[in-house]
Amino acid sequence: MNAARLSVLVVAHNEEAQLGDCLVRLAPADELVVVLDRCTDGSGAIARRHGARVVEGAWPLEGARRNAGIDACRGDWILEVDADERVPEHLFAEIRATIADAAPGYFLVPFDNYIGDRLVRHGWGGSWGVQAAPRLFSRGAKRWGPQRVHPKLELEGPKRWLQTPIDHYVDRDMNDMLERLKRYTDARAEDMREAGTPVPGLLDAARRSTGRFFKCYVLRKGYREGRYGFAIALMAALYPLIADLKVSLDRKER
């Protein structure tokens, strides 16, 4: 019986500052595929230097570019990794042992999330960071949706877990966090405009944002992280509120 082949997929847009540190950890894979989306920096040279099979193109939507990468992979199982993530050796060992006899489907992989050099364990959620995601899957078990930010997933098979976390360097500092808030709200607002999504009233929007803050800061114990937890809860609360305002103000101007 042949051993299951493992492909690792990385999707990148102008990530030369951190792509090399990501790819050097992925050498244990049977195949490394890097999708370069409209890159104008040295990401391509870095990917090829690490032995990756490179797919280049332009995909305005996140889901489409990730699906293109999935389609390019030839392995029996695929591990998706972002450029701001680092895969430890222990995770590869766990994956090899798992896929040796696993039924087709998917596995959630936990994250150790960092802001700068600080490991922040609590408070993530509300579309602002996650503590685990379905990153390991067999061919055909995962597809991404068409949304610009946080695309929906179509998953097949039972929900299973791995134990070893990926190190995820979410933001460098508060300025990085605010820049991400702008990108996320711009993308969400554009999705809402295209879909004609109705914008809730200010009172409903305020209630929803308050609920998101409470969920991250209290229920997910963000308070244990001090100012870091407060900042995460605040970003999670502001994300839909600012996107709604961008759409509603744009419609009034028209």
Model confidence pLDDT, tens digit, residues 183-229? 999 999 998 998 888 998 889 999 999 999 999 999 999 999 999 99
Nearest Cα residue to 106 out of 26, 162, 150, 28: 162
Domain ranges, ordered by start, for the chain: 6-170, 174-253
Please say whether the beta carbons of 137 and 144 come within 8 A. Answer: no
What tens digit of pLDDT does each residue of 137-173 get?
Answer: 999 999 999 888 888 999 999 999 999 999 999 999 9
Distance, CA of 151 to CA of 241 (rounded, Å)? 19
Distance, CA of 188 to CA of 244 (rounded, Å)? 9
pLDDT on residue 127:
81
pLDDT on residue 253:
60
Using the predicted structure, report yes or no on whether residue 179 has a pLDDT greater than 80: yes
Report the DSSP beta bridge partners of residue 162: none
Query: Helix H segments across 136-219?
Result: 174-195, 202-214
Average pLDDT of the chain to the nearest whole number:
94
Strands (E), 116-194: 118-119, 132-138, 142-144, 153-155, 159-161, 166-171
Q: What mean pLDDT comes out for the span 78-104? A: 97
pTM of the model: 0.90
Using the predicted structure, report yes or no on whether residue 1 has a pLDDT greater than 70: no
How does residue 254 score in pLDDT terms, banded at 50, 70 and 90?
low
Distance, CA of 232 to CA of 39 (rounded, Å)? 29
User: What CATH fold (topology level) applies to the domain 6-170?
Assistant: Spore Coat Polysaccharide Biosynthesis Protein SpsA; Chain A (3.90.550)
